[in-house]
């Protein structure tokens, strides 16, 4: 397939592409540019500077919130990936059981459930069992939220795998558990990784559920940013948001590079 350069696209496509990208990325670009603003006032350009990044490094509360957010995201994404993958396996590979359709539908309900309701019900649960709210309650809440996203992603990949591949593995000497390990898991691995990344980003992004389930002294980054912004937008906020955008961009680019590298390596030589 011949790849065209942008200049060869039709005028309509060029306009559509430009408008679409501008709509998506212009706000982010403005955020990034203003994070390098020397002026204290957010809406006045005072020349280039990195002073807000330096000040950010001294903002212990903000850094603590960022650390908390990344820890919550990493733990909850990992837990959600394990649980979500197991749920997807049970739904697409298990014996047909009574109420399977209901179970399948219930798994997807959190996808469309308003976050306020999820957050509130989790809060009521944590209050009912008298748990001290903090890191673990937020992590559990985020696992609940993101697990169904992982399940959806993994289940669609599982659905595209031919059942006879697992049968072939068993036929060639694998007990069922090893057939999963040697054949099914390597094939669904890209979806599992994508599910983890999705869960991680969703957790990092969440404000509503975290607000309900967190306790005093353990704010996540979105909660911290939101509470600061209520008192007026400080340039440090622009700086930390720019850092988050950069971090996410690095993760996504490296993930797609890894995917590309592994497919190139597969073409030339793969280990036996």
Binding residues vs other proteins (CB under 8 A): 162, 164-165, 167-176, 178, 182-183, 186-187, 266-272
In the complex, least distance from residue 174 CB atom to other proteins, rounded to whole angstroms: 6
Q: Of the two residues 105 and 186, which places its CB atom closer to other proteins in the complex? A: 186
In the complex, least distance from residue 195 CB atom to other proteins, rounded to whole angstroms: 18
Spatial CB neighbours of 73, under 8 Å, sequence gap ≥ 6: 142, 199, 200, 201, 203, 204
Q: Of the two residues 187 and 233, which places its CB atom closer to other proteins in the complex? A: 187
In the complex, least distance from residue 176 CB atom to other proteins, rounded to whole angstroms: 8
Residue 221: Cβ within 10 Å count:
25
In the complex, least distance from residue 127 CB atom to other proteins, rounded to whole angstroms: 47
User: How many helical (H) and strand (E) elements, i.e. helices and strands, does the chain have?
Assistant: 12, 0
Q: Of the two residues 159 and 175, which places its CB atom closer to other proteins in the complex? A: 175
Q: Of the two residues 172 and 252, which places its CB atom closer to other proteins in the complex? A: 172
- 10 Å CB burial of residue 111 (0-12, 13-18, 19+) is exposed
- 106 DSSP assignment: H
């Amino acid at each position: 397939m011949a790849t065209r350069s942008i200049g060869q696209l039709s005028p309509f496509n060029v306009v559509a592409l430009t408008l679409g990208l501008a709509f998506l990325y212009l706000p982010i670009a403005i955020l990034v540019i203003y994070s390098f603003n020397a002026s204290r006032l957010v809406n006045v350009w005072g020349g280039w500077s990195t002073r807000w990044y330096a000040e950010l490094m001294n903002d212990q509360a903000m850094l603590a919130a960022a650390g908390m957010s990344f820890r919550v995201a990493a733990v909850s994404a990992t837990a959600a990936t394990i649980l979500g993958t197991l749920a997807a396996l049970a739904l697409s590979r298990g014996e047909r059981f009574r109420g399977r359709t209901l179970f399948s539908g219930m798994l997807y309900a959190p996808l469309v459930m308003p976050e306020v309701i999820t957050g509130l019900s989790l809060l009521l649960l944590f209050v009912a069992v008298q748990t001290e709210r903090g890191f673990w309650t937020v992590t559990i809440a985020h696992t609940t939220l993101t697990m169904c996203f992982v399940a959806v992603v993994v289940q669609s990949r599982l659905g595209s795998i031919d059942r006879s591949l697992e049968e072939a593995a068993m036929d060639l000497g694998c007990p069922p558990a090893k057939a999963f390990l040697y054949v099914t898991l390597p094939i669904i691995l890209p979806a599992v990784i994508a599910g983890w990344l999705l869960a991680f980003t969703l957790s990092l992004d969440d404000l509503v559920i975290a607000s309900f389930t967190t306790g005093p002294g353990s704010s996540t980054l979105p909660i911290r940013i939101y509470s600061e912004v209520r008192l007026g937008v400080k340039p440090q906020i622009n700086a930390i948001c720019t850092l988050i955008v950069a971090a996410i961009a690095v993760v996504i680019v490296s993930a797609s590079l890894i995917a590309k590298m592994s497919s190139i390596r597969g073409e030339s030589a793969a280990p036996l």
